[in-house]
Amino acid sequence: MLHEPLHFRFPRSVNIQWHSENAAPREPTSNEGLSWHLRHAVHCNCCHLPGEVARELGRRQIFAYVSDPK
């Protein structure tokens, strides 16, 4: 399996400001949707990456690793 799942190391929390400025996409597996989910994983930690999004990222061979900055 080539796809490396996103790793969350921050405590679960909602970045309300980011969400207010970034409306969730209607099509999670569209270009816009995948971009939103990748940016969301960096800026917010309120929910897991949906399975269909993770599969689509893997199909397109897009990999990301999000970790604690320190």
Binding site for Zn ion (CB under 5 A): 44, 46
**Nearer Cβ to Zn ion (3/19):** 19
Say how far apart CA 67 and CA 69 lie, in whole Å. 6
CA atoms of 49 and 8, how far apart (whole Å): 10
Give whichever of 44 and 57 is closer to Zn ion, judged by the CB atom: 44
Min dist CB 18 to Zn ion, Å, is 7
Are 15 and 43 in contact, with CB atoms under 8 Å apart? yes
Closest contact distance (angstroms) between CB of 14 and Zn ion is 5
